[in-house]
Structure 1
Amino acid sequence: MVVSRLMLFCMMAAATAEPKDLDMPAQLKPLLQHMHPWKIVSTQKTVYLSEVKAQHHLLGSFICVCSNYIKTVEEHKTVERTLEAQFKNGSEISDRSLNMTLQLKRDPSGGSTLLVSFLTSVLGKLPSTDQNHLAHVADFEFTVLFADARCLLLGKLKAQEGPSSVCMLWTTEVPPKGPPLCCRFIFFLMCGASVTIDHDAKICPAR
């Protein structure tokens, strides 16, 4: 159970962290009209979690967090992807994987919200013989703070002043290269200091 929670933490941090959200700086609001989050949400490339701003002592144990494309379901306008993580567990390296469906919802302000539904295999857990049978785990919503074809910045956005306590920066750039400088700069402006996921190139190769 602890491992499962650790696995989910990277994408569900907004649900467990202190609720200190932010107003988007006025100078960045015009970016909303030019963002195209669908490009990176539906990319067939591997997407890596690069930067995280959240308070959790286990963040430093991750050596790879990534998401791989499964398929696009056009009739529901959703994308199915994996969420995979490798982390140090003492002297050993452990790995966990979940499936998730992603759906974008356009806001009246012109921004986007990413709806995330987590799924896990019931094989060996419930009386099912179908290894493809997935059980629903949880649903979460994340505000798209910035997006282009190479990076996706997620967080919470509400009418409160001050920096967000939770932000996540995903990128298609293969480690150790990391996100483009412009994405890092926007992350710093909106989120401040963060923890960098130190991907191990031998454990977390390009796919």
Structure 2
Amino acid sequence: MHMIADVEIEKNIMDANKKLADKNLKNLEDNGIFCVDFVGAIGSGKTTLIEEIIDNTDYKIGVLAGDVISKFDAERIKSHNVPVEGLNTGKECHLDAHLVGHGLHDLPLEDLDVVIIENVGNLICPVDFELGSHMRIVVVSVTEGDDTVEKHPIIFQTSDVIVINKIDLAEAVGADVDKMVADAKKLNPNVKVITSNLKDGDGLDEIIQAIEEKKNN
């Protein structure tokens, strides 16, 4: 009986989150806004990638920076002169649609054409929680180990773009970039996989192009 109750509770939570995610999506689309959800572990390079997208596109971007304590990344991003709202999750290891809805309410949506969500640094918890975005990009660093992709299949199966970052460090940490790409393609054959070294700008144009293609479809 306890197991059945647990399943029912989880189903109710996910159903409620889905309804709120749909509401967020409608809010975004009513304002003509395209939304990208960035996921990835701590240190993968999500924040740096978001900063580079802000600095290298003409989009009017707003950012929702999610974390257990969000002020650190929010302050970094705010220095790029874009509206940012920090979403503190406390003990939770993911954002949910409820938090995102509050964040969208505090952004000047009428002045934006893109909203970027930076999810909490984790490859497991965010998987099941839709937020109302149009696109999910997962960022993984070679420093996490070249078995990281195959160890976390669901997040890579549910993403539109996979960015394998910090490839300039692959030799130093003994990571096989080709293996990571092959693992990603095995899990998600139709996904776009982009290798990047954001320190030198490698891969950035391709990432921006992938966002533009999804945005214009």
Task: State TM-score, norm by structure 1.
Answer: 0.30
Relative contact order (C-alpha < 8 Å, sep 6+): which is higher? 1
Which has a greater percent of strand? 1
Task: State TM-score, norm by structure 2.
Answer: 0.29
